[in-house]
Amino acid sequence: MRFIRVVMYLLAMISSSARAGADDAEDRALLSGVLALVQPIVHLAAHSPDPHAARKAIDAILAGRNDEANRIAAGVVDGMLSDAAPEHRPALRAIGRDLLALARREQARAALLPRTETAYVIEARRALHSMGLRYWDEQQYQDAVRRGDTIAIELYLAARGLRNPPAAR
């Protein structure tokens, strides 16, 4: 879900910037490059049977394993730096490389963090709450069973708020 929010934010920023300078060829080229980077990732997220396809695509781009993305990103960076004074370009490129290194490091650190059982319970409770359900309410659980709401049932079991879980009944 975080990925979708980031993409939507980027698209909103890009579209507002594109409207402000739509007549400028450099702005259009920059927008084209960014869209060329984002579109395949969004397409994967929307259509791949693998729920982690978008993350894997981003991982490949960040790791430099996607030649097409590398080419497009280099063009985007060059376009962004075209307005910078020539003496500042090396520093800006170095900052960009360092930011990419930090993103890779943070991504690797996050991948190593353990997903505890408690985290799953909390996520299930939050999901039930967002559906207007109480994770401890056995009557709401029974209602979910009667209506065949498998998602709610799975969330109730993961939330571990029922006194008499179905396995004990």
Q: What mean pLDDT is predicted for residues 95-102?
A: 82
pLDDT at 132: 94
Q: What is the pTM of this model?
A: 0.45
- In this predicted structure, the answer to whether residue 68 has a pLDDT above a threshold of 80 is yes
The pLDDT > 70 percentage for the chain reads 81
* Residue found under tokens 């994967």: 44
Which tens digits make up the pLDDT trace of 122-147?
A: 889 999 999 999 999 999 999 999 99
Give, as one character, the DSSP assignment of residue 114.
-
CB 45 within 8 A of CB 9: no
Q: What mean pLDDT is predicted for residues 61-75?
A: 81
pLDDT at 3: 53
54 Rama class: left (phi>0) / alpha (psi -120 to 50) / beta: alpha
Tokens representing 102?
């930090």
pLDDT at 78: 80
Quickly list DSSP for 28-58.
HHHHHHHHHHHHHHHHHHHH-SSTTHHHHHH
